[in-house]
A and B are shown apart, each in its own frame.
Chain A
Amino acid sequence: MSIVKNKVDAVIVGMGWTGAIMAKELTDAGLSVVCLERGPDRDTQPDFAYPRVVDELEGSVHRKYLQSLSKETVTIRHNMNDTAVPYRQMGSFKPGTGVGGAGSHWSGCHFRALPEDFKVRSNVEQRYGKKFIPAGMTIQDFPVTYEDLEPHFDHFEYVCGTSGKAGVLNGKKIDGGNPFEGSRSREFALPPNPNYLGAEMFYKAAREMGYHPYPIPASNASGPYVNPYGCQMGPCNFCGFCSDYGCLNYSKASPNACIMPVLRGRKGFELRTLAQVLKVNLTADKKKATGVTYLDAQGRETEQPADLVVLCAFSLFNVHLMLLSGIGVPYDPVSNTGTIGRNYSYQNLNRVSLFFDETVHANQFMGIGGGGTTIDDLNGNQNDSTKSGFIGGGLVWARQPGGGPVRGIATAPGVPNWGSGWKKGVKEAFRHSFYYEVQGSCMSYQDAYLSLDPTYKDAFGRPLLRMTFDWHDNEVKASQYLVEKASDMCKVLGPKAIKGDAKKDGDHYNVTQYQSTHTCGGAIMGSDPKTSALNRYLQSWDVSNVFAPGANAFPQNNGYNPTGMVGALTYWCAKAVREQYLKNPGPLVQA
């Protein structure tokens, strides 16, 4: 009884970064494209306009720009013998919704992966031997290299107006940037943003420790800028409302500011918001997709036929749709077979707060999401796993996305949670403290995966996605090692007090505290259809007219924020569709 729409060349599920990139690229190629976004339409004006957008109660308590868990959420358990329970309140990670998706409420940290991050397994085997990888760790190489993606990293940075300083330019090391990075073909789109106090002090501490500090590549424009699509950006004014909020100032890169202006009104492009995709429709042999079924804004079941289906939902929900639709074989962690849900990974985030006296004006209310200072001295190949005891790596950084009192004020050790002592504590801390974070990689494991929950349903009657995940020894060791290094970097600054949160032996994944929205894997790319859901072009091995770009494609997660890599992979995917797939639809890699 469902409504059937006219067939289009391509239907895109989700209008965040990946959806916007694919819509731009596919309409450039002359395709008719319909994009279905579950949330509302959003644009800088009126949705992110000052002053309404900076209301902390609406943004960070009512979570106005995030997904409502009442409609869709996940269930979570620590191991496969437990019963999973729903993620009822937003905590550890924050998927977005609406046009722009998580790309409108992100902070703007815009890294490229390191060349060695693409070949994690072979790199570890080569450096330390095959036996060094513990049983149950299922890390894999990406089926692409840094060199494959370099032009796409570059292009995405220029779309975003990324501000930073190159450390390696056309093979030559240059001062001021990250000396350990993969070679860049040109400088950043914009120079680095100015340093707030914490970032400046981080520089000082890092140099004293013999590290190589550099500005975090920030998709928060450091000056006026026009991107290759003609979209205008203005300089970031450090408003302090990046994370959780849309940008009021056309400064933070987002699909809304950087791509949507050229898509809106474009012939061949149609955006339907409040359109909740329920599943991808497949032919009886499950080898081809025929389109998708969704609920329109009035809740009517609607079918959108299409030749090509591009899954551009948040990483977790790309996997959810694949499982619900019967694309590929669900992963079985016992036999370690099947691919959909395999290799779920996360990010190993830890914080160390520094408290100073009233002469140190850290002013945490000023903020820039992606700005700040970091080091790669403990990341990638700089981490000697035989000494540190863990595989992977991580960053230590000073980053100040902006803090307001409703979002919480970290207080020095010993300060009570209420009463006069608390008031004194918040008063002393608010303008005179800042923090470092340790952002570690997260390896993938046989017992960390995504599947469908047998019990709980979403608002549309579908089984919820079930996440089975806990910290493993490798990540706990990494946390302890990196937090210790970060604490050393704090001590040289002589703060009044330090408060850190390294994971303790036996600590379990705690979903109640915000850590990171960097949920990765579950539908990973690889060179073997037995151990990956997608081929090197982000194309489903099983259903060749389905592509699924996103962080779901990461076989494991590196120390960086994923967005730079997600954007680059999406442009890489789009290029393959345009230059190869459209000429000869079918598998781009023979299984």
Chain B
Amino acid sequence: MSDDTQSPSRRNIIKSMVFIPIGAAATTGVVRALSPATAADANAPEGKPDAYTPAFFNQVEWKFLNAAVDRLIPYDEHGPGAIELGVLEFLDRHMQTPYATGDIWYMQGPFVKAAPEFGYQGKLGLRDIIRVGIKNVDGYCASQFGGKAFADLDRKQQEEILKGCEGGKLKLEDISAKLFFTNLLNEVRNGYFADPKHGGNKGMGAWKMIGYPGMRADYLDWVEVRDKPYPIGPVDLAGRRG
């Protein structure tokens, strides 16, 4: 049973950690759980990202996300990256909510093309946008890089691909690259910054980075203070203090 700790997903996470610039971690000390060794540490703090096994995404998708999420919000001298804050867990869990099926969007046809000012006019719910997008970007990479998947490219190549998606220059078979990118980036940001109860932002790491007091929601005594930074760390929905 102890093999559980060596599930493929866990290996992927650990593998993804290799991309993290460990040297930078040592110099700043901003973030914990940075190196592969720490991530694998059984005594790591509660909510360590490697405890999660994806239920929505398959292995190919998970591999893609491990790489892409790390490019979008990398670990660096400014603060924690999306991977160590559990954004992958957020994504996998969020894709299983009614929201990701498009339950608050108007999803009736006919579906026609319209100028960008009119917003999304497609048939896919959020989770299908992500899923179809991953498959297509991987397909594009395979065709351009001798069969390699996105995750198998080097960091620079991955960034170029993502830029191509963001600017809409990259043409995919089944979906607008820009649409996919926008939705993926939104979701990664949501996972990075939303309350830890949703799976990401472990230890309120993203809130600490920007100085957000989280769910404190009571500032009357600080409204007129001008000369010093807000002094108290964040609190989350579960009442944990950061």
Contact = CB atoms under 8 A, between A and B. Distances in A.
Partners in one complex: yes
Interface of A: 50-52, 54-57, 61-63, 66, 68-70, 73, 76, 78, 83, 85-91, 194-197, 235-241, 248, 361, 363, 365-366, 404-406, 409, 417-420, 422-424, 426-427, 430-431, 455-457, 508-512
Interface string B192-232: 11110110000000110111110101111011111111100
A144 B179 CA distance: 48
A238 B219 contact: yes
A418 B73 contact: yes
Nearest to B209: A427
Contacts of B188: 418
B119 A91 contact: yes
B182 to A, nearest CB: 9
7 contacts: A85-B112, A87-B119, A361-B227, A361-B228, A365-B213, A417-B185, A418-B73
B230 A361 contact: yes
Given A55-B237, A239-B218, A405-B207, A511 B223 contact: no
A579 B60 CA distance: 71
B47 interface: no
Contacts of A63: 104
Contacts of A54: 215, 217, 237
Given A88-B120, A238-B219, A61 B108 contact: no
Interface string B168-198: 0000000000000000010011101111011
A420 B159 CA distance: 12
Contacts, number: 176
Contacts of A248: 217
Contacts of B223: 194-196, 238, 366
A455 B111 CA distance: 11
A417 B71 CA distance: 12
Contacts of B146: none
Given A363-B222, A365-B212, A457-B108, A423 B103 contact: no
A76 B106 CA distance: 13
Nearest to A507: B117
Contacts of A88: 105-107, 119-121
A89 B213 contact: no
Given A195-B223, A457-B108, A406 B74 contact: no
A87 B106 contact: yes
B229 A423 contact: no
B241 interface: no
| Interface-central residue, B117, B206, B226, by most chain A CB under 10 Å | B117
| Interface-central residue, A51, A55, A424, A455, by most chain B CB under 10 Å | A51
B37 interface: no
B1 interface: no
A363 B229 CA distance: 8
A68 B219 contact: no
B97 to A, nearest CB: 8
Interface residues of B, number: 63
B106 A427 contact: no
B114 interface: yes
Contact of A61 (B107, B119, B190, B219): B190
B72 interface: yes
Contacts of B222: 238, 363, 366
A431 B231 CA distance: 12
Contact of B162 (A405, A418, A430): A418
B220 A68 contact: no
Contacts of B239: 51
Which 6 pairs, one residue from A and one from B, show the smallest C-beta to C-beta distance?
A405-B193, A239-B217, A366-B219, A430-B210, A57-B194, A510-B117
A456 B79 CA distance: 47
Contacts of B104: 62-63, 66, 68-70, 90
A423 B193 contact: no
Contacts of B190: 57, 61, 406
Given A89-B105, A239-B219, A418-B185, A51 B115 contact: no
B99 interface: yes
Given A70-B106, A237-B218, A365-B219, 5 more contacts: A55-B197, A55-B215, A56-B193, A195-B224, A405-B212
Contacts of A52: 237
A61 B200 CA distance: 15
A150 B223 CA distance: 33
B152 interface: no
Contacts of A363: 219, 222, 230
Contacts of A85: 112, 114, 118, 121
Given A56-B195, A405-B207, A430-B212, A70 B103 contact: yes
A69 B112 contact: no
B217 A240 contact: yes
A50 to B, nearest CB: 6
B215 to A, nearest CB: 5
Contacts of A430: 210-212
Contacts of A70: 102-107
B194 A423 contact: no
A71 to B, nearest CB: 9
Contacts of B73: 418-419, 422-423
A339 to B, nearest CB: 27
Contact of A69 (B74, B105, B115, B220): B105
A76 B115 CA distance: 11
Contacts of B61: none
B128 interface: no
A426 B208 CA distance: 12
A76 B118 contact: yes
Given A69-B106, A404-B212, A418-B185, A237 B219 contact: yes
Nearest to A92: B119
A88 B120 CA distance: 7
Given A87-B119, A88-B121, A404-B212, A423 B79 contact: yes
A194 B219 contact: no
Interface in B118-150: 118-121
B194 A56 contact: yes
B110 to A, nearest CB: 7
Contacts of B99: 61-62
Nearest to A367: B219
B224 A86 contact: no
A573 B188 CA distance: 49
A368 to B, nearest CB: 8
A405 B119 contact: no
A50 B217 contact: yes
A509 B97 CA distance: 32
A54 B195 CA distance: 10
B106 A86 contact: yes
Nearest to B118: A85
Given A62-B104, A63-B104, A511 B119 contact: yes
